[in-house]
Amino acid sequence: GIQVEQSPPDLILQEGANSTLRCNFSDSVNNLQWFHQNPWGQLINLFYIPSGTKQNGRLSATTVATERYSLLYISSSQTTDSGVYFCAVSPPDNQGGKLIFGQGTELSVKP
Amino acid sequence: ETGVTQSPTHLIKTRGQQVTLRCSSQSGHNTVSWYQQALGQGPQFIFQYYREEENGRGNFPPRFSGLQFPNYSSELNVNALELDDSALYLCASSFSQMELFFGEGSRLTVL
């Protein structure tokens, strides 16, 4: 089945720094989403981005489907950005809307 | 617009017992899927329901079962609980298997 790899696994930043998180996937996909998991466990939607570029405030994302990767940019990081960031994709046959998650990037932003 | 809600938020069971977790979809959504997230891991797809029928299943045994009701709410049932079933159970809803939105999860501990 399709494999999703995220890097780096852990990241520590000072408040105000910028960062780039990467998601590689092993096959074509027809859905790609980025999530932020807060300390209480809820997955917060950041981007639905099977291709192209989107921006939302300090966050932006780019997916290059032909090269099978996606990037999440966080600018001017804040302590509230801390948590785990997940990339998730749907396989080409979209088996019942199944999302396959990467292992996540754990981000810690220090004041 | 009401988001995805799950209940209960926390529960403790003993090995061999049965558990039912509940999920209310976001308004306007017709598809519900369930995920299991073990500590330190990404969520794993259990199954999805569309039009009250199971429409896609991950690598979980038959003792994991579910229902979807006419109002698109859903239940996840787990029989004969095992210690390894301890996890965060996440429900997600979507419209026609597009962008998924997750609830806050139900944290199950099996003793």
Cβ-nearest to B48 among A35, A88, A97: A97
Q: Which residues pair with A11 in a beta bridge?
A: A107
pLDDT of B94 > 80? The answer is yes
pLDDT of B1 > 60? The answer is no
Angle, vertex CA A71, rays to CA A70 and CA A72, nearest 5: 130
* Cβ contacts of B103 on chain A, cutoff 8 Å: 42
Question: A interface toward B at CB cutoff 8 Å?
Answer: 31, 33, 35, 40-43, 45, 48, 86, 88, 90, 94-104
Cross-chain residue pair B98–A48, CB shorter than 8 Å:
yes
Confidence class for position A96, pLDDT limits 50, 70, 90: low
Q: What is the mean pLDDT of the segment spanning B38-61? A: 92
Query: Rounded mean pLDDT of chain A?
Result: 93
Cross-chain residue pair A41–B88, CB shorter than 8 Å:
yes
pLDDT of A34 > 60? The answer is yes
| Percent of chain A with pLDDT strictly greater than 70 | 96
Cβ-nearest to A99 among B57, B88, B100: B100
Cβ atoms A20, A7 nearer than 8 A: no
* Cβ contacts of B58 on chain A, cutoff 8 Å: 98
Confidence class for position A43, pLDDT limits 50, 70, 90: very high
Q: Which of B44, B43, B49, B94 is nearest to B74 (CA)?
A: B49
Query: Rounded mean pLDDT of chain B?
Result: 93
Cβ-nearest to A103 among B41, B90, B105: B41
Task: Tell me: cis bond preceding B62? Omega within 30 of 0 counts.
Answer: no
Sheet holding A4-7: strands in order across?
Answer: A4-7, A19-25, A69-74, A59-64, A52-56
Cβ atoms B26, B4 nearer than 8 A: yes
